[in-house]
A and B are shown apart, each in its own frame.
Chain A
């Protein structure tokens, strides 16, 4: 018990003291990088909840990520500045969107589910870029909202993101070990049997889908705070693919899969970008080698079990 507790407290402690140390040593750049990693860790973990634990391979998860970001950009442009309005608005919007999309998509299975989630994400993408007053294909500036209690400096955003990530991961950890989480995993394991012993499968899947969409929206919201910009790229299908890469790379259905995958992929990209303009070649080769030789992802290499 104490040993496993240390396993969480040590990394958390390191993250807590990192910004002042980075500031003192002139490495502020890395504070930003870690903020970005934490945001993607949240997004990837939300995808892992439905993909890994629920067996729902959504290829349109970027939709919620992007809508979260665009809500910030559009609301601040329209003169709404209070975070206490913007945050709930973004989360409710993403939850509603996930509910609508999920309630249609969850009638299909397998590859068809993958493709119909992609279709909805593409529709949202094209709708968003069609609004020229909101930047069209160029994207839209997103000002940091007003929290009232504190100024959202880069360091404050770092700590805010850390707090949100820790809270979200804790909630997800509770969820996957709860009654609901157990049923969700049972449905992934054997859907027809879960139905035959009396579970309303569709309802469980839909609730999980909405939770995941809302969490992805939360990540997108933070992303807009981080870059102060909402880009159509956040909504593009490549972004959905990127999130999926993180989950598969980190470990599907492993609790730390989303976090590890996001950290690994972003760090590798960062390093390779420093070396060569053909950095994607390196990323591709690494991904390929991992699929061929480490089929259970990074979390699998450590031999941990998620559930």
Chain B
């Protein structure tokens, strides 16, 4: 296998992993801090992608469209928190699963009513549609490279925010003991609303940049939601660092598995078996990864609470 192909797949894995991180970051914070399972997190990703497609279409400028979509999704996220999700913090996990599953159904149908059942067209901005040579002999999509840069910037900003600012300490304090945090003077309700807004904004960024690569369609949130959950469970719930490591692991393993497993398999098995089993094994790989991690470390790689 040529090394450039290998490198390209690893870069694809990093790119996908960083986008997964944006989704997982919001999810793990909401989960770790409010002890709230929010299945509708994937719906915000879908809303972000739809809004991006719409705003890019309206304005004709990709980056302006993304900006508007991020703001719009953040507002929708905060609105959801204020109206419905806030009622669920005190409820058990099962009620949260049921209610947010109901939200998925509702949001999916509303999106279908507004935008219709057909997938939307969202393409990469023109200047970034071609490849650029990043190493001698290695051409890589400029848009994917942009995604990596954007993902890295957001990831670093988020890590700094959570680990080194007072708001970050308040969030972590609220995660372990909400009442005590309040008694120490943390304005917990607005903080949570804001957190939801930030989580939704991160979803929208992921939706905006993955939209041109994957499809913008109803149901896009659910399949990626499962991946985001896998990420935060591998990383340890509530840990931003864990989400980053987990996301990169899942992104690389998934991408590389899909690219290389069928190839590897065809060297040891018949082509028919390889073409049959290869994709299946590749799909299983991340779940296998999760099962192994949980078997060895039942609290994930970086447990936030002990």
Binding site for B on A (CB under 8 A): 51, 57, 104, 107-109, 111-112, 114-116, 118-120, 122-123, 126-127, 129-132, 237-238, 241, 244-245, 248-249, 252, 278, 280-281, 283-288, 290-292, 295
Contact = CB atoms under 8 A, between A and B. Distances in A.
A185 to B, nearest CB: 16
Contacts of B283: 122, 126, 130
Given A237-B226, A245-B101, A288-B106, A295 B91 contact: yes
Interface string B135-168: 0000000000000000000000000000000000
B280 to A, nearest CB: 3
A245 B287 contact: no
Which 3 A-B pairs rank lowest in CB-CB distance, beginning with the nearest? A130-B280, A284-B105, A287-B102
A287 B287 contact: no
16 contacts: A111-B31, A114-B93, A115-B233, A116-B294, A118-B229, A123-B284, A126-B280, A129-B280, A130-B279, A241-B101, A248-B94, A280-B109, A284-B105, A287-B102, A291-B88, A295-B95
Contacts of A131: 276
B237 A111 contact: yes
B102 A281 contact: no
A244 B97 CA distance: 9
B58 interface: no
A284 B287 contact: no
Contact of B284 (A126, A237, A241, A249): A126
Interface in B249-298: 276-277, 279-281, 283-284, 287-288, 290-291, 294-295, 298
B1 interface: no
B290 A119 contact: yes
Given A111-B37, A116-B290, A120-B287, A284 B106 contact: yes
A252 B91 CA distance: 14
A120 B284 CA distance: 9
A224 to B, nearest CB: 22
B212 to A, nearest CB: 25
Given A131-B276, A278-B112, A280-B108, A109 B298 contact: yes
Interface of B: 31, 37, 84, 87-88, 91, 93-95, 97-99, 101-106, 108-110, 112-113, 222, 226, 229-230, 233, 237, 276-277, 279-281, 283-284, 287-288, 290-291, 294-295, 298-300
Contact of A57 (B94, B99, B230, B288): B94
Helix, strand, loop or mixed for chain B's interface? helix
Contacts of B93: 57, 111, 114
A291 B102 contact: yes
Contacts of B103: 284, 288
Contacts, number: 123
A295 B103 CA distance: 17
Contacts of A132: 276
B99 A112 contact: no
Contact of A130 (B88, B110, B276, B288): B276
Contact of B288 (A123, A129, A287): A123
A12 B277 CA distance: 47
A119 B291 contact: yes
Given A126-B283, A288-B106, A115 B230 contact: yes
Contact of A248 (B95, B104, B287, B298): B95
Indicate the member of B91, B93, B99, B277 with the most A CB atoms within 10 Å.
B99
B109 A281 contact: yes
B222 A238 contact: yes
A122 B287 contact: yes
A113 to B, nearest CB: 9
Given A248-B95, A252-B94, A281-B110, A287 B295 contact: no
Given A111-B237, A115-B229, A120-B291, A288 B84 contact: yes
Given A107-B298, A108-B298, A118 B226 contact: yes
A126 B279 CA distance: 9
Nearest to B229: A115
Given A108-B298, A126-B283, A248 B97 contact: yes
